[in-house]
């Protein structure tokens, strides 16, 4: 979800939306007579188990990334980790 700096908030919002959707599907399946309706209630918990993402920053030029690079593509200096 687009805004930077809202990692846990975005995962929480996504989990709440998925919970509402899965609850609706579970109610429909329960009303249809399927006994495994409770399985859909665990789906919204998946985004909460995601990894903490780190911002890596070049100490020389200030270039930032959240991907797996180890070195700055502009000057080749090792990137430093910062908690997001």
If asked whether residues 9 and 46 sit together in one domain, one would say yes
Residue ranges in the chain modelled with pLDDT below 50: 1-3, 5
Distance CA 71, CA 62 (A): 12
Distance CA 52, CA 54 (A): 7
DSSP bridge partners of 65: 56
Q: Which domain holds residue 36?
A: 1-50
**What is the length of the chain?**
84
If asked whether residues 2 and 32 sit together in one domain, one would say yes
If asked whether residues 43 and 76 sit together in one domain, one would say no
If asked whether residues 62 and 26 sit together in one domain, one would say no
Note the pLDDT tens digit of each residue in 66-79. Answer: 888 889 999 999 99
Annotate 34-55 with three-state secondary structure. CCCHHHHHCHHHHHHHCCCCEE
pTM of the entire structure? 0.41
If asked whether residues 39 and 62 sit together in one domain, one would say no
């Amino acid at each position: 979800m687009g805004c930077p700096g809202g990692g846990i908030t975005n995962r929480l919002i996504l989990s709440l939306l998925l919970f509402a959707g899965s609850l609706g599907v579970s109610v429909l399946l329960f009303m249809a007579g399927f006994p495994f309706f409770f399985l859909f209630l665990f789906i919204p918990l998946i985004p909460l188990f995601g990894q903490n993402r780190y911002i890596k920053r070049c100490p020389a030029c200030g270039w930032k990334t959240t991907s797996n690079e180890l070195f700055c593509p502009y000057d080749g200096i090792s990137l430093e980790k910062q908690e997001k």
